[in-house]
Amino acid sequence: MKTFYLTTPLYYVNARPHLGHTYTTVVADCLSRYKKMQGFDVCLLTGTDEHGQNIERAAAAQGLSPKQLADQITAEYQKLWARLGIEYDQFIRTTESRHYAGAAEVFKRAFNSGAIYKGQYSGWYCISCNLFAPESETAPKCEVCERPTERVTEESYFFRLSDFQQRLLDHYGKHPDFIMPLSRRNEVVSFVSGGLKDLSISRTSVKWGIPVPDEQNHVIYVWFDALVGYLTGIGFAPGASAESFQKYWPAQVQLVGKDILRFHTVYWPAFLMAAGLELPKQVFAHGWWLKDEVKMSKSRGNVIDPHLLLTHFGSDAVRYFLLREVPFGLDGTFSYEAFIQRVNSDLANDFGNLVSRTLTLVAKNFSNGMPYPSAIEGRLALDQELEKKALATVEAYQSHMNGLAFSKALESVWDLLAHANRYLNDNAPWALTDNLAERPRLATILYTSAEVIRITAVLLAPVLPESCKRVWEQLGMKSPLRSQRIDEIKWGGLTVGSNLGEITPIFPRLDKKAAIEKIFQESGAPVVGSETKPEKATAAGASAKSVKPQPSAPPVAEAKVAAASVPDGKITIDDFAKVELRVAQVISAERVPGADKLLKLMVDVGTETRQILAGIAKAYSPESLVGRKIVIVANLQPRKMRGLESNGMLLAASVGDEGQPVLAGFLEDVPNGAKLK
Ligand code: MSP
pLDDT given at position 239: 87
pLDDT given at position 595: 81
Give how far Cα 277 sits from Cα of 272, 273, 595, Å.
Answer: 5, 6, 62
- Of all atoms in ligand 1, which is nearest to the CA of residue 226? 6
Give how far Cα 435 sits from Cα of 201, 256, 372, 432, 441, Å.
Answer: 79, 59, 17, 6, 10
- Of all atoms in ligand 1, which is nearest to the CA of residue 290? 26
- Of all atoms in ligand 1, which is nearest to the CA of residue 289? 27
Distance from the alpha carbon of residue 87 to the mean position of ligand 1, in angstroms: 19
Q: In what order do the strands lie in the sheet with 41-49?
A: 90-93, 41-49, 3-12, 253-257, 283-286, 179-180
Q: Which of 136, 42, 158 is nearest to 89 (CA)?
A: 42
Q: Which of 558, 656, 565, 661 is nearest to 619 (CA)?
A: 661
pLDDT given at position 534: 31
Contact 51, 209 (CB under 8 A): yes
Distance from the alpha carbon of residue 65 to the mean position of ligand 1, in angstroms: 23
Give how far Cα 521 sits from Cα of 572, 619, 652, Å.
Answer: 42, 9, 20
Q: How confident is the model at residue 187 (pLDDT cuts 50, 70, 90)?
A: very high
Ligand 1 binding pocket includes 10 (Cβ within 6 Å): yes
Beta bridge partners of 254: 7, 283
Ligand 1 binding pocket includes 306 (Cβ within 6 Å): no
Q: Which of 252, 261, 260 is nearest to 175 (CA)?
A: 252
Q: How confident is the model at residue 210 (pLDDT cuts 50, 70, 90)?
A: very high
Give how far Cα 407 sits from Cα of 35, 177, 290, 410, 463, Å.
Answer: 17, 20, 18, 5, 11
Rounded CA gap, 466 and 320, in Å? 12
Angle (CA) 486 487 492, round 5°: 70
Average pLDDT for the chain: 89
Rounded CA gap, 509 and 344, in Å? 5
Mean pLDDT check: name the lowest of 170-179, 229-238, 505-514, 603-612.
603-612
Each residue's pLDDT tens digit, 546-601: 222 222 332 233 222 333 334 456 777 777 878 889 999 888 889 888 788 889 99
Distance from the alpha carbon of residue 10 to the mean position of ligand 1, in angstroms: 8
Each residue's pLDDT tens digit, 520-545: 777 665 544 444 333 322 222 222 22
Distance from the alpha carbon of residue 191 to the mean position of ligand 1, in angstroms: 21
Choose which residue among 10, 210, 230, 259 to substitute to test ligand 1 binding: the one with the highest number of ligand atoms within 8 A of its C-beta. Answer: 259
**Residue scoring higher pLDDT (301 or 272):** 272
Each residue's pLDDT tens digit, 645-663: 888 999 988 876 677 888 9
Strands 283-286 and 179-180 come out as parallel
Distance from the alpha carbon of residue 288 to the mean position of ligand 1, in angstroms: 9
Instruction: Indicate yes or no: pTM above 0.75.
Output: yes
Mean pLDDT check: name the lowest of 49-63, 71-85, 628-642.
628-642
Alpha helices in 294-380 (DSSP H): 306-313, 315-325, 336-342, 353-365
**Residue scoring higher pLDDT (463 or 295):** 463
Query: What's the alpha-carbon Rg for the chain, to the nearest Å?
Result: 29
Rounded CA gap, 56 and 60, in Å? 6
Contact 503, 357 (CB under 8 A): no
Q: Which of 566, 584, 567, 583 is nearest to 575 (CA)?
A: 566
Q: Please state the rounded mean pLDDT for residues 9-26.
A: 96
In degrees and rounded to multiples of 5, residue 401 shows phi and psi of -65, -40
CA torsion angle 83 88 90 91 (round to 10): -30
Each residue's pLDDT tens digit, 376-411: 778 899 999 999 999 999 999 999 999 999 999 999
Neighbours of 56 (CB within 10 A): 19
Classify residue 543 by its DSSP letter.
-
Residue nearest to ligand 1 atom 29, measured at CA = 20
Q: Please state the rounded mean pLDDT for residues 125-143.
A: 85
pLDDT given at position 395: 98
- Of all atoms in ligand 1, which is nearest to the CA of residue 268? 6
